[in-house]
Structure 1
Amino acid sequence: MKFRVDRDVLADAVTWTARTLPQRPPAPVLSGVLIRSEDESTISLATFDYEVSARASVAAEASEQGTILVSGKLLAEISRSLPNKPVEITTEGTKATVVCGSSRFTLLTMPVDEYPSLPELPELIGSIDSEEFTHAVQQVSIAASKDDTLPLLTTVRIEVSGDKITLLATDRYRLALREVSWQPAKPDLETSALVRARTLSESAKSFSSSGRVEIGLQTGAGVNRIGFLAGGRVTTSQLEDGDYPHVRRLFPESTPIQAVVETAPLIEAAKRVALVAERNSPIRLSFSEGQVVLDAGQGDDAQASEAIEATLSGEDISVAFNPHYLLDGLSVLGTPYVRLGFTHPNKPVEFIGQRTETGETLDEYRYLLVPIRFTS
């Protein structure tokens, strides 16, 4: 095998495919990136760990056809460090040589015949704008659990109903929901899938500037998988099985107390006040007409307090939040104002974005956060 490729093109493709490599591969070959010359002008790079696969096709000058398997993480580090010149990779026996300018590396190859067969992209069921998809995934995935002992809660539930996709995620302390329009292959399509939040988030980020993302889904026959195709790159992921909790009913039907605050000042104030909050300590938000006071710390500990403007509808109310969960939700709103809806000081609070202080809410994204009980 022998091919020549641009340094930046190689580094980008290897880094993208290697991102899915397992930290502790169950077999040595699963730590490798599979490089195949498709024809005289294209090579493909792929990784697979039996659950998640990634494939990228890039332009290259392939003078000798073939397939090699080399350490993905090592090749990624090497390709990023090479000088800005064309890269030539050749194989001889069980070794692969990487030459770029005066730099030369020799890598050991792994047996290609021991590498598992890559899964095919599932049947395409529709497409979505890549930037909107990336933003929606970012908004929802923050609420997914990081606790692998509760695998269902580490996923994002994707619900498809006609021309609308709904993304849902929860870790029991917060809940995020985002609705987004898309173009289904069949107008009456109704289906759902549980996708690992980490895989979905990483895939969405890599497709953010690709124009549109094609989505494929395979359920009910063999291994259930979802797939994403954009910009010459394909990612597939095995779906999680199980019954996702019925979380939609947790959103309140009405909120008798509402407060509207400018998002950016609230984020900055929360960051400053949270500096004195010890581990697992909340920051308190006290709403009254015309302002909200944020404070943290008590007793002999360090303390902080800051007041910013707010519009309140209803009686005065005070709540306390985990500062990280609060900032997570505020940072992905993407709107100048945020409306907080309250039913009771100890009940979950709903966050919805607004374009103006008195304008209609943008309830295609809803973030529900459970407050922390505190003693006045």
Structure 2
Amino acid sequence: MKLVIDHAVLADAVAWAAHALTNRPAVPVLTGLLLDADGDELTISAFDYDTSRRATISADVAEPGRVLLPGRVLVEIVRALPKKPVELTLSGHEATITCGSAEFGLLTLPIDDYPNLPDAPDAIGDVDAHTLAAAVAQVVPAAGKDDTLPMLTGVRLDINDSDLTLAATDRYRIAARDLAWQPNGVDTPAGAMIPGRVLADIAKSLPAGPVSVGVTDGLAAFTGGGRTTTVRLLDPQFIDYNARLQLSDFSIWAEVDAAPLISAVKRVSLVAERNTAVRLSWTDGEVLVQAGGGDTGRGAETVAAELDGAPMEIAFQSQFLLDGLAGVDGRARIGMTTGAKPALIVDPGGTPAYRYLVMALRLS
């Protein structure tokens, strides 16, 4: 194996692939990055049995070959190299990395022990990377963190002819986002459950442009810009979230600029004890935001708002409220019924793409 490659291209690819390396590998070879050189391309792969990443980049390949190198060490070496072409040569059990006057020799890992990477499912449609990343950021905060309840740690993907819906819940709130996509016209599963933390990591690293989505019964794949990530799916069981997110269930509606309300909630929460309520008192023209009153102190601030319905007083766990408001760009509409029942936060419009149901706390 012998090749020459641009330093910046190599550094970006190995850093991206290394996100799939696990800190607690089932077997030692899973700490490695697999490099496969053939034709005029170099493919860099990582796998931990649940997630795989493959990046294919251009390279001047003089001698094709495959090698498994210690992943995190390779990332650090490549990152530290001067910004000059990098030459990689394999001789026996050592890979030599040369860049300018710098030279490193890395002992290889046993490539024969490395498991076969899963084949990516065929694409069932395409979605814009920026749109998908924004949707994931809106929904993932509502996914649970308790791994003993896997269903609650995932993000549900529901697929139909023209829309892709993402949804998540941790029992205290539900977030859902509809986004347009381009299906390929092939038969698709009704839905899939992807681990929330993994999906968030995938979304942050998507290259600009269209991303192909593939789903089978047990695996999902996201491909774009020469990079493919596969992830093992969770059990598809999930709640009927659409039944809980009906706008017609809410008789009182408030409308407010999301940014000022977020700022006010953050400020008054400085004097609130952990997990205590932030109280919102809605009247036509403003909302009074209050928190505290215990041993530390109290805070209050008013924000301009519009109210359609009777005055309302309702309280929320502050971070749950902030997560919901953060998903809205501009004006937020908040649907309520009573102070004891959940509230629905949506973006403006008759058919909102973003919906966030949050449990209310008991007023004291």
State the TM-score bracket (shorter-chain normalisation): over 0.9
SS of the counterpart of 2:322?
A: helix
SS of the counterpart of 1:19?
A: helix
1:76 aligned residue: 75
Asked if 1:291 corresponds to 2:290, the answer is: no
1:23-102 superposed matches below 5 A: 23-39=23-39, 41-102=40-101
SS of the counterpart of 1:84?
A: coil
Q: Distance in 2 between matches of 1:88 and 1:374?
A: 67
- Of residues 326, 341, 354, the one that matches 1:331 is 326
1:117-156 superposed matches below 5 A: 117-156=116-155
Q: Give, as a single letter, the amino acid of the residue that structure 2 aligns with 1:32.
A: G
- The answer as to whether partners of 2:52 and 2:117 remain within 8 angstroms in 1 is yes
1:217 aligned residue: 215
Asked if 1:368 corresponds to 2:363, the answer is: no
Q: Distance in 1 between matches of 2:261 and 2:104?
A: 52
Deviation at 1:20, TM superposition (A): 1.4
- The answer as to whether partners of 1:162 and 1:188 remain within 8 angstroms in 2 is no
How high is the sequence identity, in percent, across the aligned residues?
43
Q: Distance in 2 between matches of 1:15 and 1:281?
A: 41
- The answer as to whether partners of 2:164 and 2:179 remain within 8 angstroms in 1 is yes
Deviation at 1:361, TM superposition (A): 4.5
1:343 aligned residue: 337
1:150-186 alpha-carbon deviations (Å, 9 max, x no partner): 1111111111111221111101111011111211121
Give the alignment's Cα RMSD to 1 decimal: 1.7
Structure 1 residues 109 and 187 mapped into 2: Cα distance closer, same or farther (>3 Å)? closer
Structure 1 residues 276 and 108 mapped into 2: Cα distance closer, same or farther (>3 Å)? farther
SS of the counterpart of 1:24?
A: coil
Asked if 1:282 corresponds to 2:277, the answer is: yes
SS of the counterpart of 1:330?
A: helix
2:227 aligned residue: 233
Asked if 1:178 corresponds to 2:177, the answer is: yes
Structure 1 residues 278 and 103 mapped into 2: Cα distance closer, same or farther (>3 Å)? farther
1:111 aligned residue: 110
Q: Distance in 2 between matches of 1:371 and 1:73?
A: 45
- The answer as to whether partners of 2:277 and 2:315 remain within 8 angstroms in 1 is yes
Q: Distance in 2 between matches of 1:44 and 1:89?
A: 13
- The answer as to whether partners of 2:167 and 2:175 remain within 8 angstroms in 1 is yes
Tell which deviates more after alignment, 245-254 or 107-116: 245-254
Q: Distance in 2 between matches of 1:235 and 1:59?
A: 19
1:270 aligned residue: 265
Structure 1 residues 105 and 27 mapped into 2: Cα distance closer, same or farther (>3 Å)? same
SS of the counterpart of 2:84?
A: coil
Q: Distance in 1 between matches of 2:49 and 2:58?
A: 27
- Of residues 290, 297, 302, the one that matches 2:297 is 302
Tell which deviates more after alignment, 111-120 or 64-73: 64-73
SS of the counterpart of 1:73?
A: helix
Structure 1 residues 31 and 187 mapped into 2: Cα distance closer, same or farther (>3 Å)? closer
Structure 1 residues 55 and 313 mapped into 2: Cα distance closer, same or farther (>3 Å)? same
1:300-349 alpha-carbon deviations (Å, 9 max, x no partner): 31322111101111121122222222222222222x10011001111111
Deviation at 1:203, TM superposition (A): 1.6
1:159 aligned residue: 158
Q: Give, as a single letter, the amino acid of the residue that structure 1 aligns with 2:361.
A: I
1:14-41 alpha-carbon deviations (Å, 9 max, x no partner): 11111011120010001111001021x2
- The answer as to whether partners of 2:192 and 2:236 remain within 8 angstroms in 1 is no
Structure 1 residues 49 and 300 mapped into 2: Cα distance closer, same or farther (>3 Å)? closer
Q: Give, as a single letter, the amino acid of the residue that structure 2 aligns with 1:3.
A: L
Q: Which segments of 5 or more consecutive residues in structure 1 lack a partner in the other structure?
A: 355-359
Q: Give, as a single letter, the amino acid of the residue that structure 2 aligns with 1:215.
A: V
- The answer as to whether partners of 2:188 and 2:215 remain within 8 angstroms in 1 is no
- The answer as to whether partners of 1:352 and 1:362 remain within 8 angstroms in 2 is no
SS of the counterpart of 1:26?
A: coil
Structure 1 residues 349 and 7 mapped into 2: Cα distance closer, same or farther (>3 Å)? same
Q: Distance in 2 between matches of 1:337 and 1:205?
A: 25
1:183-228 alpha-carbon deviations (Å, 9 max, x no partner): 112177562111111222222222251x111111222xxxx11111
1:56-92 alpha-carbon deviations (Å, 9 max, x no partner): 0011112222111112122122222222222222222
Q: Give, as a single letter, the amino acid of the residue that structure 1 aligns with 2:316.
A: F
- The answer as to whether partners of 1:179 and 1:365 remain within 8 angstroms in 2 is yes
1:247 aligned residue: 241
Deviation at 1:118, TM superposition (A): 1.1
Q: Give, as a single letter, the amino acid of the residue that structure 2 aligns with 1:345.
A: G
Deviation at 1:130, TM superposition (A): 1.7
Q: Give, as a single letter, the amino acid of the residue that structure 2 aligns with 1:5.
A: I
Superposition misfits of 4+ residues, deviation over 6 angstroms: none
SS of the counterpart of 1:110?
A: coil
SS of the counterpart of 1:193?
A: strand
Q: How many residues align?
A: 363
